[in-house]
Structure 1
Amino acid sequence: MEPVLRVHNITKRFGSNVANDHISFDLYPGEIHALLGENGAGKSTLMNVIYGVYGADEGEIYLNGKPVEISSPKHAIELGIGMVHQHFMLIPAFTVAENIVLGMQKELRLDIKDAEAKIAAASEKYDLRVDPHALVSTLSVGEQQRVEILKVLFRGAKILILDEPTAVLTPQEITELFATLERLKKDGVSIVFISHKLNELMSISDRISILRRGKITGCIDDLANCNPEALASAMVGRQVTLGVEKPEQEAGEVVLELDHLSVCNEAKKEIIKEFSLQIRAGEIVGLAGVDGNGQSELVKGITGLLPATGGAIRIQGVDMTGKTPREFIDAGVGHIPEDRHKQGLVLSMSVKENLFLETIQDRPYTKRHLLQKKAIQEKAKSLQEFYDIRAASLEVPAGALSGGNQQKIIVGRILEQDPKLLVAVHPTRGLDIGATEFVHKCLLKARAEGCAILLVSTELDEILELSDQIAVIYEGECMGVVRDRDATKEGIGLLMAGVKGTQAATAS
């Protein structure tokens, strides 16, 4: 069988940095071919070359046996190649239909009703359930992803590139996505699937190519005789421990106390309703819940980004209700935010500058209002090495890095401040297995040193592995708090669905 896409000796350089080094691989009709690699291995760069975002410095691309030079994403779409990026390319103020037809219309007037009817038919055909009339700003993350997939299929794509498609999805949404991909595969659509999640890759892929340091190091096509441990080792080039070893330890004094806390969102609608919770020194409390049940508003309340409308927030016994974000930072609160682009980084600033966003005014980085460049450079270099932030230099913009390396900047910056309370929201989102292992060890080290940690994650396995206690949030309310030794996935799932009581979480 002839491949629909053949990549031969593709090389892409950014200055002295070789992102792709003579890469070759094939994609066959109706195949799901996964690309697995560490953060910064060159996966997204390679896909952006195929999609026409970047031009290759060397090598050739063949479509159905014919050489092509893909000059732009528009050209790629015309050739039948569609890409769903890790960060969605949708306009929130537009409807689903408007986003899908954006850039397609050649006539002066758009028949939106006709477009909506065609999109509804396509939605039905591919079982991508979205309302063409809905504003994108009102959709869940999973629904937005369905819009992105529908957008490229609506334009006739027969090759679909998915860059970290499950990074922000709930388990239920992942199941729905995989069912969609299986249907597309049966229809003859060929899919390139990029992910760090080993079990997912093994369940959905036909073949897995390993990308390390810009090179393809192997291709696995006998997945029946493969296992996650072997994949992890092939990806990072060393033995990786899957799972965490969490030693038992006694928790200390209460660091964070939420006393019947209520918080409204930016639209003044009450989201968090009389939420009570305590976190002690040397303890990790996991917050489990389906995305969109108030996690964002709770975190913003705890970090001073949204004002409390009722109840109290106390940190080490001090009432912080109504304090500013700066006062929360000064009180020892570290915050790894859920959206690294909007809240965690200034993408146009350098890697080095982003490493000091909260601390640049402190000694030894500033003395007598003057920046101490040597101290800043030495510390930045140390952080880059310790957290394995892969960038050509500390001076490149943070926006030029892969998503995983951007996340490492934030995690390193916050943990380096030695917080008394760490609010960690999706701290391993977008990280490869090796980097995830490292961050988990860092969190457990902070726990051992007496840090109180609130871990917010949609990865239930991560919550269960790391947490000493698990609190479940549903529609802004605390449904119960369970000790880790008593928790089961089924029971936590019941609480996440709104069934109150700790007996639900401990049901087997």
Structure 2
Amino acid sequence: MSACALELIGISKRFGLVKANQDISLCVPVGTIHGIIGENGAGKSTLMSIIYGFYQADSGEIRIQGQPVTVHDSKQAIALGIGMVHQHFMLVDEFTALENIMLGAEGGALLHEGEQRVRTRLSELSRLYGLEVPLDIPVNQLAVGVQQRIEILKTLYREARILILDEPTGVLTPQEADDLFKILRTLKADGVTILLITHKLREIMAITDQVSVMRQGQMVAHRATTVTSMPELAELMVGRKVRQSVDRYAQPTGRVLMEVRNLTVRDKQGIARVNQVSLKIAAGEIVGIAGVSGNGQTELLQALAGILPFSEGEISFAGQSITPKQPVNAAQMRKLGIAHVPEDRHRMGLVLPFAAYQSSILGYQRVEKYNHGLTLNDPAIRTEYTGRAEQFDIRPRDPFLGSNNFSGGNQQKIVLAREIGADPQLLLVGQPTRGVDIGAIEFIHQHLMDMRNEGKGVLLVSVELDEIMTLSDRILVMCGGVITGEVSREQANEQILGLLMANALDTNDQQGHSA
């Protein structure tokens, strides 16, 4: 085994009564890809933040290339050759890719002179590692996968030789994830040492050399990837055997809950993001919508939830006809019995500075049981939140803790507990397990299946084909804003769905197909 590029010896970190990291030791050999896995809240991100200088350990030692170092802040980490790509990108949306990469490393008072040097160096790095990006386009106009390349280029421009990636594929399509892995293999071949923080065990098995497992703030196992397996790693992560299936009891009743006919949603420029889509959702049924992100799924969910207006078509639900001339807003949709779990929990599902119990009623704050006349009934809200936190295993249980202080998986549970707890007849759910660990995925999947088994309807949007195939009774595929086909649960496989996602399969279930 090569010498340690990064070594941790007895690292501990406490936040109040919470022991985030306890006596953690780790050796990451030079020029390897080392996976760090664990449930949400296991302490992975805290540990990486200590390495990168965001936090200082209460005790323990960090060594780089065998030399003890003290990392007071991220600037010092960068000087030591450590780079970090965060789960939520640290980019200025209005800046171009070039401006984001230069930010903080302008190279002198005369920006145009520094800019030319940066362009030259980025050209070299792009050729070397396959990291081509359009340098002069604002990043908010670029795909998520391209934004991630910009983040990696930022670290390499600052001469990082140890690269930390925190949940790097959480917001990527499968194709973008494949491109990322090609880049990581190229970096590894050039001697760059990579720490990959992820909950996706398939990715661990596909890309890493070694993997370390964290549970409840402790490092509980180290394995060479070639001698372990996904079931073993899953059990090490959660401390018990993880079920690979969900309980599917009843059959769909056939009673239609919602029917959508020829729905068209246009953006501000008049472009049809959803184009003449028709579908039905029955009681006791999960209808999955597969597709590469950005093909109209988000707009479809938001239109059905009453958030986005639609320009053509009709939605029938609970005996009501909803049309462009007779629109219904999100609050009215909730009263009719529709709940919505948005794809982006940070922007649409939570108010991050709010306490957890406050986020737990967003959208339902005018419900009578939550009110004392002109003021909210805080004790009643906290009592209900405490029960839901227990039911949905939200950790920690503290109702006063800010929503932004929960791990991604527990933030998702807060949103799901709120929407499922409202007892809707139909749940619209987008990317329910994005950024969520395997234990929480098992838990969330069973709650969605429980709704189905109780005779409710679920419309599920996910870029995870395994998730779609596991949960759905029927699968619709969207590409370019239209439904390109329908496949039953029994017929579905990755090849068929992949062809439909690319609109490359000749099928009778084409645009406007009535599902």
- Verify same fold: TM over 0.5: yes
- CA shift, 1:482, in A, is 1.9
Measured in 2, the distance between the counterparts of 1:55 and 1:401 equals 20
Question: Which range moves more in the overlay, 422-431 or 477-486?
Answer: 477-486
Aligned-partner SS, 1:481? strand
1:59 counterpart residue number: 60
Contact kept? 1:281, 1:447, Cα under 8 Å? yes
Contact kept? 2:288, 2:476, Cα under 8 Å? yes
Alignment of 1:352 onto 2:318: no
Aligned-partner SS, 1:308? coil
Measured in 1, the distance between the counterparts of 2:58 and 2:70 equals 12
Which of 321, 326, 329 aligns to 2:331? It is: 326
1:432 counterpart residue number: 437
1:14 counterpart residue number: 15
Which of 217, 223, 227 aligns to 2:220? It is: 217
Aligned-partner SS, 2:111? coil
**Where do 1:371-382 residues align within 5 Å?**
371-382=376-387
2:513 counterpart residue number: none
Measured in 1, the distance between the counterparts of 2:3 and 2:62 equals 14
1:306 counterpart residue number: 308
What is the one-letter code of the residue matched to 2:197?
I
Question: Which range moves more in the overlay, 496-505 or 131-140?
Answer: 496-505
Contact kept? 2:250, 2:453, Cα under 8 Å? no
**Where do 1:139-154 residues align within 5 Å?**
139-154=142-157
- CA shift, 1:462, in A, is 0.6
2:264 counterpart residue number: 262
Identical positions, percent? 44
User: CA RMSD of the aligned region, Å?
Assistant: 1.7
CA deviation profile, 1:203-250 (whole Å, cap 9, x unmatched): 2111111100000011112x3332211111111001111233434503
Aligned-partner SS, 2:460? strand
Alignment of 1:366 onto 2:366: no
Which of 466, 485, 510 aligns to 1:480? It is: 485
Measured in 1, the distance between the counterparts of 2:170 and 2:382 equals 33
Measured in 1, the distance between the counterparts of 2:66 and 2:257 equals 63
What is the one-letter code of the residue matched to 1:170?
T
Measured in 2, the distance between the counterparts of 1:128 and 1:243 equals 38
Contact kept? 1:100, 1:147, Cα under 8 Å? yes
Measured in 2, the distance between the counterparts of 1:370 and 1:71 equals 45
Matched residue pairs, number?
A: 504
Alignment of 1:450 onto 2:476: no
Contact kept? 2:486, 2:509, Cα under 8 Å? no
2:160 counterpart residue number: 157
CA deviation profile, 1:273-306 (whole Å, cap 9, x unmatched): 1111111111111111111111111111111211
Alignment of 1:100 onto 2:101: yes
Question: What is the TM-score with the length of structure 2 in the denominator?
Answer: 0.94
Aligned-partner SS, 1:495? helix
Measured in 1, the distance between the counterparts of 2:143 and 2:298 equals 13
Alignment of 1:271 onto 2:273: yes
Contact kept? 2:295, 2:479, Cα under 8 Å? yes
Measured in 2, the distance between the counterparts of 1:357 and 1:95 equals 35
Which of 411, 417, 428 aligns to 1:423? It is: 428
- CA shift, 1:363, in A, is 3.7
Alignment of 1:182 onto 2:193: no
Measured in 2, the distance between the counterparts of 1:6 and 1:376 equals 46
What is the one-letter code of the residue matched to 2:296?
G
CA deviation profile, 1:285-333 (whole Å, cap 9, x unmatched): 1111111111111111111211101111222331233211111111111
Contact kept? 1:119, 1:132, Cα under 8 Å? no
What is the one-letter code of the residue matched to 1:121?
E
Measured in 2, the distance between the counterparts of 1:110 and 1:420 equals 58
Which of 131, 135, 150 aligns to 1:128? It is: 131
- CA shift, 1:338, in A, is 0.9
Which of 315, 340, 344 aligns to 1:339? It is: 344
- CA shift, 1:260, in A, is 0.6
Structure 1 segments (4+ residues) deviating >6 Å: none
Contact kept? 2:386, 2:397, Cα under 8 Å? no
What is the one-letter code of the residue matched to 1:294?
G
- CA shift, 1:201, in A, is 0.5
Which of 283, 286, 289 aligns to 2:288? It is: 286
What is the one-letter code of the residue matched to 1:341?
H
Measured in 1, the distance between the counterparts of 2:269 and 2:397 equals 42
Contact kept? 1:335, 1:414, Cα under 8 Å? yes
Question: Which range moves more in the overlay, 360-369 or 434-443?
Answer: 360-369
Measured in 1, the distance between the counterparts of 2:131 and 2:74 equals 23
Measured in 2, the distance between the counterparts of 1:168 and 1:463 equals 17
1:91 counterpart residue number: 92
Contact kept? 1:252, 1:450, Cα under 8 Å? no
CA deviation profile, 1:174-193 (whole Å, cap 9, x unmatched): 22111111111111111111
Contact kept? 1:265, 1:297, Cα under 8 Å? no
